[in-house]
């Protein structure tokens, strides 16, 4: 078993449910990341093998900034083009020794908004659905979690995490696994796999799902009784009608994205959470996404938020829909 995952599975300890999940993950990892699954995988494996050797990889936190291999002086002209073979870098930012990796998303700003409103993670097992390269997993671990499991079906993010772990060291009980929520919900071992996590995160995923109720129910099924869901998703607001459940269902694209299906208002989102079996539903935060938080950088050279908004009215998307705002909720498995 790769050391990338070994520390995570060891942190599951003797918990029977988590041990069964570890067995499921290990038995499917090779198939999920096989060269035949995606042509790029062999190239990404080469990137990992060519990363510069760091005798004592570690991590530090300085004023909220995550630094991997602190104190190392890397040859930026060698390391930068190597890591750019894993482009685009969406979630971050990271600092690798003397190299700043400025990602599209300032994911630290999102964390800063909600961290004081989250439950205690001390000694708990956390699952992050659609975690990208795993940026928030490091924050969860720094907040006292016993283990932090991230899942994301996009293979690139798994290799980005492997690159980051190379500089952080393998001793940390967190990892990005190449699975979707649907893989976990519809596995052939479903009957023998049980709710295992204390806290489940779903951030930036719900609006990409054709059936939001299914997504919420599947997330709930992974939680232990009394466990908590942290949900972040796009929402819409119409002040004069906001107490009436309603939603925006874009007829075409939303902010140039073709896979945005459903933007509820807060009332409808709360109804969905209740319908899915959650209680103690608490709104934590709603904020508009700004170009300070999502932007093009040398590490993400494709279009970003400014390209998705109406140039004459940034309160609207390029299609004329309300510009992105994100709401965060905390809810308990009843």
- What pLDDT is attached to residue 172? 97
Considering the chain, what is the average pLDDT of its residues?
93
CATH number of the domain bearing residue 265? 3.40.50.150
User: Given pLDDT bands bounded at 50, 70 and 90, which one contains residue 29?
Assistant: confident
Find out whether 53 and 75 touch, Cβ atoms under 8 Å. Answer: no
Please say if the pLDDT value at position 1 is more than 80.
no
Backbone region of residue 227 per phi and psi (left: phi > 0; alpha: psi in -120 to 50; beta: other values): beta
Q: Please give the residue range of the domain that contains residue 203.
A: 3-333
Of the candidates 287, 283, 261, the one whose C-alpha atom is nearest the C-alpha of residue 270 is 283
Number of domains observed in the structure of the chain: 1
Please say if the pLDDT value at position 210 is more than 60.
yes
DSSP line for 29-53 = HHHHT-GGG-THHHHHHHHHHHSPP
User: Given pLDDT bands bounded at 50, 70 and 90, which one contains residue 32?
Assistant: confident
Of the candidates 200, 186, 109, the one whose C-alpha atom is nearest the C-alpha of residue 147 is 200
- What pLDDT is attached to residue 280? 98
| Cα 131 to Cα 121: distance, rounded to the nearest angstrom | 17
| Cα 235 to Cα 248: distance, rounded to the nearest angstrom | 8
Please say if the pLDDT value at position 188 is more than 80.
no
Assess whether the previous peptide bond of 88 is cis (omega < 30° from 0).
yes
pLDDT tens string 8-21: 999 999 999 999 99
pLDDT tens string 49-95: 999 999 899 999 987 789 999 999 999 999 999 999 999 999 999 99
- What pLDDT is attached to residue 189? 56
User: Given pLDDT bands bounded at 50, 70 and 90, which one contains residue 35?
Assistant: low
According to DSSP, the β-strands at 94-96 and 99-101 are: antiparallel
pLDDT tens string 136-174: 999 999 999 999 999 999 999 999 999 999 999 999 999
Q: Residues 61, 62, 68, CA angle at the centre, nearest 5°?
A: 50
Across 282-293, average pLDDT: 96
pTM of the predicted protein model = 0.95
pLDDT tens string 96-135: 999 999 999 999 999 999 999 999 999 999 999 999 999 9
- What pLDDT is attached to residue 239? 65
């Amino acid at each position: 078993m790769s050391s990338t995952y070994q520390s995570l599975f060891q942190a599951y300890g003797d918990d029977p449910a988590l041990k069964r999940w570890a067995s499921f993950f290990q038995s499917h990892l090779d198939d999920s990341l096989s060269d035949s699954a995606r042509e790029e995988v062999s190239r990404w494996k080469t990137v990992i093998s060519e990363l510069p050797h760091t005798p004592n990889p570690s991590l530090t936190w300085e004023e909220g900034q995550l630094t991997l291999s602190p104190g190392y002086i890397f040859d930026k002209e060698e390391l930068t083009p190597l890591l750019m073979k894993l482009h685009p870098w969406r979630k971050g930012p990271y600092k690798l020794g003397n190299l700043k990796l400025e990602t599209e998303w300032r994911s630290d700003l999102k964390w800063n908004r909600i961290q004081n409103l989250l439950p205690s993670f001390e000694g708990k097992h956390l699952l992050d659905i659609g975690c990208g390269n795993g940026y928030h997993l490091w924050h969860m671990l720094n907040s006292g979690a016993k283990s932090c499991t991230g899942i994301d079906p996009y293979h690139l993010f798994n290799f980005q995490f492997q690159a980051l772990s190379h500089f952080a060291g393998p001793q940390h009980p967190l990892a990005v696994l190449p699975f979707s929520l649907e893989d976990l919900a519809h596995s052939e071992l479903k009957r023998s796999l049980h709710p295992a996590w204390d806290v489940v995160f779903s951030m930036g995923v719900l609006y990409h799902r054709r059936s939001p109720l299914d997504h919420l129910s599947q997330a709930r099924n992974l939680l232990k009784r009394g466990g908590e869901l942290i949900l972040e998703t796009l929402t819409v607001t119409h002040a004069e009608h906001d107490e009436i459940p309603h939603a925006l269902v874009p007829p075409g694209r939303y902010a140039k994205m073709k896979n945005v299906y459903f933007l509820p208002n807060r009332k409808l989102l709360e109804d969905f959470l209740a319908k899915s079996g959650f209680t103690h539903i608490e709104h934590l935060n709603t904020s508009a996404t700004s170009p300070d938080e999502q932007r093009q950088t040398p590490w993400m050279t494709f279009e970003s938020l400014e390209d998705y908004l109406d140039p004459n009215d940034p309160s609207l998307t390029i299609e004329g829909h309300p510009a992105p705002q994100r709401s965060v909720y905390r809810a308990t498995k009843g």
